Chains A and B, each alone.
Chain A
Amino acid sequence: MEKQKKLRSVSDTPKHKIGEIFATGFFAILSAIIVFPVFAGLLASFRPGTQLIRRGLAIDLDISTMTLDNYTYLFSGNADSQKYFMWYKNSLIITLASVVLTLFVCYFVAYGLSMYNFRLKNFLFFLVIATMMVPFEILMLPLYKEIIKLKLIDTYAGVIVTGICSASTIFFFRQYLSGLPKELLDAARIDGATEYGISVRIILPLAKPAFASMGILCAMGSWNAILWPLLVLKGANKFTLPIGLNTLLTPYGNNYDVLIAGSMFGILPIFIIFLIFQRYIIEGMTTGAVKG
């Protein structure tokens, strides 16, 4: 009680108020700097693409010169628009499939690594860490040849399959699961639950926050992935959104209308998911980075 009183009195002092203004102001300015490129891009998406090339991302708040032309063009259903939404659909399919597969596979692997004591446990966990220590880019070329051999080139499966057992996701899940009381398992066993039943019915519901946070991180990674899809997907009808947008980046700039409007519209789904699941991102990070 006494302490609370003390805190309240501290937050009322003029010194504290000034600190509050400076600290909050600092983050407001930092946020403004961070928002700037996207805001400028958003403004530019309401102007013809030719202006973008001539003037760069000039901040021009004159509403009278703004038009929705780029967006009406994007949604017009013409060839460019169809192409764009095909990429969009491809990205959605790949993202959804890889998030679902990655989450469940990684959860069960992490479950095995954290809930049991078995001979290979430490060795396998060491291997999980080891895979994180090797940049994907080194494996990229042999993996590319392997995917060709497996006849998975130019398929969604080829894009997804190499990333399902994501070491970082296993790591996060393991950290999260190690924090749960093991007595839960013994209690369930006494009640006659099987090992797999426990993992699905008892522990999985408890790991929901970890699923949410890993889900959004995986979704972001998959939605924005470029390098690997760029190698695997060959046909323009298989392209994901980032790769498709990248093909619009010709030096002649005749596609900048679609590019800028499409870029802004492409941020949207991930942004909405982020706003909904925001707190889970931070919670997920807590379980991962804190215990190291």
Chain B
Amino acid sequence: MKGKSGKSLTAKNFLYSQKVAPYVFVLPFIISFALFWIYPLITAITMSFQDIGAISSEWVGIKNYTKLLKDNVFHIAIKNSAVYMFWTLVLLIPFPMLFAVLMDSNLVKAKGVWKAILYMPALTSVVISGTLFRLMFTEYPTGQMNLITQALGLGTFKWLKMGWSGMAALLVVACWRWTGVNMLYFLSGLKAIDTSLYEAAEIDGATGWQKFRYVTLPLLKPTTIYVLTISIYAGLAMFLESYMLWGGNNSPNNIGLTIVGYLYKRGIEKNDMGYACAVGVVLLVIALAINIVQLILNGTFKNEEE
């Protein structure tokens, strides 16, 4: 301490003061936010109003957007992403929640084993799981899915060549990957519920269903909102599952094309960055609109201010 000049000491005191320290802590976020979030976000929006050439770019106003309005392939992509998101919400929120309630009961033995196994798909890369499922959904009669449908007397299907079955294949992959993860989210939510509430409900003579409806469900709400938010986001932005299932970004009649798939196709494969960015901005608006409405309906912003 003695050796240091008074000036550097005050600089040190300044940096070490309780007022400045928090800003030092959050500095990496501010830098990363500026460089890798706000800058690319603004660029994406400005690029969406441009025709990006190899050498120069031209300002074209809303031309990219008017083109999107008439672009049938883009409409297919939006429809696919929306349908996919809708079904992932239907399949990947109520069922994992019920599984979690069951898992949390004292009825299940060897819980650790089942939890580990159900979580396993999340550990595998989409490259690997997509390849495995592509082989299972093969149109040949030896594929697993065709073996199942044959056993049920339904014959064989060309799974990855028809709209409904292509979507079904995507949803099977989604369920396989996320059921366990979402179940663990709900399970951790259940762990946080005070057991005395259930005891109180029991004393009041509540049935199992009543306990679920009036204790579990309301107290799981923060978890449900969390899972809902990430599911909306993940559903709308799904791309790789489709990319791997069809072995590239091309599916017959675009049955597996998603919004991000179209963005990738336009931006990377066809090098039409301006148009691709317009696709991205539309995705952003849809994702934000759905999530904000959902969060307002659930009253999340109110809680944050308290």
Contacts and interface: CB of A to CB of B under 8 A. Distances in A.
Interface in B18-50: 18-19, 21-26, 28-33, 35-37, 39-41, 43-44, 47
B33 A127 contact: yes
Interface in A30-58: 30-31, 34-38, 40-41, 44, 52, 55-58
Main secondary structure of the interface of A (DSSP, over half): helix
B74 interface: no
Given A134-B284, A164-B32, A263 B131 contact: yes
B178 to A, nearest CB: 11
Interface in B123-139: 123-129, 131-133, 135-136, 138
Interface string B223-247: 1011100000100110110001001
Given A35-B117, A226-B127, A292-B300, A139 B37 contact: yes
B128 A138 contact: no
A118 B25 CA distance: 12
B236 to A, nearest CB: 7
Interface of B: 16-19, 21-26, 28-33, 35-37, 39-41, 43-44, 47, 99, 102-103, 105-110, 112-129, 131-133, 135-136, 138, 140, 142-144, 176, 179-180, 184-185, 187-189, 191-192, 221-223, 225-227, 233, 236-237, 239-240, 244, 247, 260, 263, 267-268, 273, 276-277, 280-281, 283-284, 287-288, 291, 300, 303
Contact of B267 (A34, A141, A283): A141
Given A23-B108, A165-B32, A281-B119, A141 B22 contact: no
Contact of B128 (A111, A164, A267): A267
Contact of B188 (A23, A36, A57, A282): A282
Interface stretch (A61-69, A70-78, A204-212, A243-251): A243-251
Contact of A282 (B36, B184, B267): B184
B115 to A, nearest CB: 7
B132 A275 contact: no
Contact of A165 (B21, B28, B300): B28
Main secondary structure of the interface of B (DSSP, over half): helix
Interface string A166-177: 000010000000
Given A23-B105, A34-B117, A289-B185, A227 B239 contact: yes
A285 interface: yes
B117 A266 contact: no
A161 interface: yes
A113 interface: yes
A131 interface: yes
A59 B135 CA distance: 12
Chain A contact patch, size range: 35 or more
A235 interface: no
Nearest to B141: A56
Given A139-B40, A170-B29, A288-B226, A37 B132 contact: yes
A285 B26 contact: no
A37 B136 contact: yes
Contacts of A267: 123-125, 128
Contacts of A243: 127
A195 interface: yes
Contacts of A79: none
